[in-house]
Amino acid sequence: MPGNARLSSAETQQARTRRLVACRMQEIEGNPMTAEEVAMFEMFEREAWTHERRREYILRKVRPLARETVRPFGRAQSPGC
């Protein structure tokens, strides 16, 4: 899809419904979404971003964090190391 592609209203509503279910499941598991995470997904819905664009955005945000915490050979660095 081109970078300016958007989800239809029905697709956006379906994504919102899935997000709300996922949020509730995260709460039940004791790991609720942060206000920043909720705001990000609400922005995706408001702007009707495609799932591909959402994924790219999230990966761009988390990859630098992963590089900071992963040692060579793929071993995660624990806070005590």
Length of the chain, please? 81
Q: What pTM, to 2 d.p., does this model score?
A: 0.72
Give the whole-angstrom CA distance, residue 3 versus residue 5.
6
Burial class, 44, CB count within 10 angstroms (exposed 0-12 / middle 13-18 / buried 19+)? buried
Looking at residue 26, what is its pLDDT? Answer: 96
Asked if pLDDT for residue 81 goes beyond 80, the answer is no
pLDDT in tens, 3-41: 679 999 999 999 999 999 999 999 999 999 999 999 999
CB contact at 8 A, 77 and 71: yes
| pLDDT at site 67 | 82
pLDDT digits 0-9 by tens, 32-62: 999 999 999 999 999 999 999 999 999 999 9
